[in-house]
Structure 1
Amino acid sequence: MKLSRKLLMVSAAALLSISPVVAASIPSSNVQAAASKNATTTVLLKRNAYIYNSKGKTNKKAIKKGRSINVNQLKAIGTKLFYRINNRKQYVKAANVGKLTGRKLKLVNKLPGDEGLFNVPKDMQGTWYYIDSYTKKPEKLVIGQNVINNKGYKPELHVMNKHFGDKTNLTKWSRAYRDASRDWSDTSLTKVRGINYVQVIKWGAVGGDGLSYGLHKEAGQPVIVIGTGAKTWTQAVAWKTPELAKENSGKHFKDLDY
């Protein structure tokens, strides 16, 4: 009996000495991740907001301006964005929302007209260098799989459905839709004078307003020809090294149109 009691006391002491070690071994990042999953997103209504169902239909019942509501989903219905009220099949238009606090919600579906990300050909990806023809300063062109960073302008490359409404009439799109696609480009492949270009136009902008990037060869070296305008006039030629860019600065190549 005494032996059993002694063993029980030893076991309890051992457990007490081990438990703090187990708790300390849990990474703090895991605790933060768990907390973020359960974080609440709250929106403040800046105007009276009708309640909609998942198909974008409303029975005209409204939540008054100034109310704060908890939401847990951002969804595109038609060309408008909606927040889903927590644990309900009810939505309010994102256009009626003012201040948002808590975790920023990502779209659970694609925006209307969005066919997904555009993948840049692998042989174009990497860092290229050119001399700006206007400022005469060296510039860096960084091409990734779904983004092109040219002098700090780096839109996310998307493909717009060619049958998606009137691309030039942005007034038909909700403010929330325009905000969600603000940093996107309508991206496509086009062939001009024998060069295959990746054409990058701001989402919803008029054709010809963007830039085009084409893989080519000059002086025996791979280059990226940067074109502009509807006719894809050559604006610059980017090289693999800063030295090559400097060496070929100001040159006009016969097979390119300037």
Structure 2
Amino acid sequence: MRIKKWAVIALFCGIFLTGCSKQTASKEASNSSNKSSQSSKSSVKKTSKASSSSAKAVKLDAAKLTPQESGSLITLYCADRFGGEWSNLLQAGQNGSLTITLHKTSDYEFKQPGSGYAYEAAASGQTGTTYYTLSGSTFYFYQGVKVAGSGSFLGQATKQEMADYIVKKGQLAEFKQLAKKVEIVDKSGQTQRLSEGRSGYFTIPAEIQGTWYSASNYDGETTHSKYVFGQSTIFIQDDKYDTKGTTTTLYTRLSDFKMPLPPTEKQMDRVKGWGLGHLYQQDGLNYMNVMGWYQTAGSGTSFAVHTENIAGNNVQILVCASGARPWVDGIAYRSQAMAEKMQDQHFDDLHYRDDE
């Protein structure tokens, strides 16, 4: 059969057009694939940039840290870099709290005395052996420090170097948590060249600090007392026996101190107004005990903050106790009005001397 010329032409054109159509589709598919690939590469680049940006965002700006955050930073850095006493300090801080106390560097003999201050890092209520000084932008670290001593020099670093270090170690969460537990105390105006076996000032727990009032009936008369607790001092006054009030300054004692037995009258006069403070737990209460500096008999006086439910409200009270157990002698309150209202009130969960 003969095929007409126009049919051949039409057939040829059809094949050609079909081929063109396939090539066009192939090119479009190829272009689409290339665009997809380029889009994917672009996405990877963007993700990479985002990741890089995220990494940069983690940077800790040391210049913007608060004093508490700086104390946390230094403790974490030194514990990881040097271990030893700094590591023990970190553990104590994580389980409780830390106190950074400022002293005069002139009271010490550090290798790098720094510019004005010696910073004592210690578990709250304790005397520290870990210190640091600052000169310009560089911190110098020590351990094994005694009052008026030098200790062992460990190393040095700038605050930004320490910040970069803990970020690299992934310790930001620990840093933030520890910073909440740091207290700053300035004792740079007080001399640290202590005598008679004193190793430093005893820090009264924060929950006890402040003013408390009590009212008790003795021989048919009500006696009002006031207790004022500072960082290391206790002022006690009443309106019957000690109207002017008495102040006691609390210290910690050197472990190798040999107490004079018996102390001379001159020695007793020299330590008048000094107290030895320490913390202990008894009957579920966290007590602070105070004894005379040369006291060898008796158990001293103990104080603890406790919460009682009074008229449907949780109220903090100050338990004042003495003796070996110890036994409760009285209760103080944050206001004079509450003390008057609750005069000589006994609480069932406390152990009073007249209960025995």
Q: What TM-score comes out, normalization by structure 2 length? A: 0.39
Q: Which has the higher contact order (CA 8 A, sep 6+)?
A: 1
Is the Cα contact below 8 Å between 2:298 and 2:323 reproduced in 1?
A: yes
- State which of 241, 249, 256 in structure 1 corresponds to 2:343: 249
1:150 corresponds in structure 2 to 236
Distance 1:198 1:108, change over 3 A: closer
In the alignment, is residue 223 of structure 1 matched against residue 317 of structure 2? yes
State the distance in 2 between where 1:170 and 1:232 align. Answer: 26
In the alignment, is residue 159 of structure 1 matched against residue 252 of structure 2? yes
- CA-CA distance at 1:124 after TM superposition: 1.3
1:120 corresponds in structure 2 to 204
In the alignment, is residue 211 of structure 1 matched against residue 301 of structure 2? yes
State the distance in 1 between where 2:222 and 2:192 align. Answer: 45
126-135 or 146-155: bigger deviation: 126-135
SS in 1 for 2:222: coil
Deviations 1:61-120 (A, max 9, x none): xxxxxxxxxxxxxxxxxxxxxxxxxxxxxxxxxxxxxxxxxxxxx977221421111111
- CA-CA distance at 1:198 after TM superposition: 1.1
Is the Cα contact below 8 Å between 2:192 and 2:200 reproduced in 1?
A: no
Higher relative strand content: 1
State the distance in 1 between where 2:302 and 2:265 align. Answer: 28
State the distance in 1 between where 2:201 and 2:217 align. Answer: 31
State the distance in 2 between where 1:108 and 1:119 align. Answer: 14
Distance 1:170 1:162, change over 3 A: farther
2:17 corresponds in structure 1 to none
Distance 1:120 1:107, change over 3 A: closer
- CA-CA distance at 1:174 after TM superposition: 7.7
- State which of 227, 232, 241 in structure 1 corresponds to 2:326: 232
Q: How many residues align?
A: 151
1:136 corresponds in structure 2 to 222
- State which of 262, 278, 286 in structure 2 corresponds to 1:170: 262
Residue type matched to 1:170 in 2? P
- CA-CA distance at 1:157 after TM superposition: 0.7
Runs (5+) with no aligned partner, structure 1 = 1-105
State the distance in 1 between where 2:288 and 2:348 align. Answer: 22
State the distance in 2 between where 1:227 and 1:203 align. Answer: 19
Aligned CA RMSD, in angstroms, stands at 2.5
